[in-house]
Chain A
Amino acid sequence: EAQVTQNPRYLITVTGKKLTVTCSQNMNHEYMSWYRQDPGLGLRQIYYSMNVEVTDKGDVPEGYKVSRKEKRNFPLILESPSPNQTSLYFCASSTLAGASYEQYFGPGTRLTVT
């Protein structure tokens, strides 16, 4: 089954404790992206990657890191989480072929930083 998986689905942590949220896709997609979703703000793009070893900032990259060492994986790293990073996070992927470039989203990771 074609899908984007994220782990963990739920995470409660404390300020300053480094964490990684994993994202993996099995569709051989070139493009992957991370978003955070907060009430009244829609989705805001954190980082995206056009292919292996190619990453770029979205609209809200501060406090986050990413890497793309393999095509299928795109982990999101919070080196020193703070309470304002409490949010619902989504990973997405798409092919770069065609005009639609439909993004397939993962199920989301709900992060709480206390």
Chain B
Amino acid sequence: TQLLEQSPQFLSIQEGENLTVYCNSSSVFSSLQWYRQEPGEGPVLLVTVVTGGEVKKLKRLTFQFGDARKDSSLHITAAQPGDTGLYLCACRTGTSYGKLTFGQGTILTVHP
């Protein structure tokens, strides 16, 4: 059983469309991170959220952390082909700082 459930698993859209990716758990997170990974490379950190209700923006990307710190979302406005990649959420729970759990990822394809 995955601690973090990401949805959808696959997303195929046209350039210019908006999309949202979700990351959910039954456990409370101490913090949550979103990463983006391109083929043949390691993941790259996009954002870290630590406070319930927090909203962070990174250009066309908006990240939200749920009030109860059990869920998060990533919203992309006017998607571009360069947004194509694997999006992963990751969390730390409890008191073990070093232990990091990833969701299974969302594969996003943006067609020109």
Contact = CB atoms under 8 A, between A and B. Distances in A.
Report whether chain A binds chain B: yes
A46 to B, nearest CB: 11
Contacts, number: 64
Interface residues of B, number: 25
B42 A108 contact: yes
B55 interface: no
B104 A102 contact: no
B48 A92 contact: no
A105 B72 CA distance: 23
B43 A48 contact: no
Given A105-B42, A105-B43, A45 B48 contact: no
Nearest to A49: B98
Given A101-B48, A108-B41, A44 B102 contact: yes
A19 interface: no
Interface of B: 2, 4, 6, 9, 31, 40-45, 48, 50, 88, 90, 96-105
